[in-house]
Amino acid sequence: MTDGTHSGWDALAEHDDAAALVAALLDLDPGETYTRTELSGATGVPYRTLYLEGTLAAVADLGLVEKRDRGDEEPVYALATDSEALQAARAFDAATAD
């Protein structure tokens, strides 16, 4: 954007496989939680890209998933079912489906 702020599109474009992650999230069970390893397996996005390169954090910052800390255990992630961003991603996916 020209005013110095970043759009959601910019945030996705800055991360490898972010679009693939968002597309795969739409097929996940909204009632389940997932570790980073499970998300990597479920979405096909390599763990390194997902976690170490910040792709999952960027998607969480956009409000598509919620990070849930579990004390000393690895955090889990769930779809942010009340998120306008997730609803918009679903609508975009439906509007552009073949």
pLDDT tens profile 6-61: 788 888 889 879 999 999 999 999 999 999 999 999 999 999 989 889 999 999 99
Under 8 Å CB-to-CB from 21, ≥6 apart: which residues? Answer: 39, 43, 45, 50, 55, 56, 59
Residue 1 confidence (pLDDT) above 50: no
Instruction: Write down the pLDDT at residue 3.
Output: 58
* CA neighbours closer than 13 Å in the CB half-sphere of residue 92: 11
Q: What is the pLDDT of residue 10?
A: 86
65 and 80 Cβ atoms separated by less than 8 Å: yes
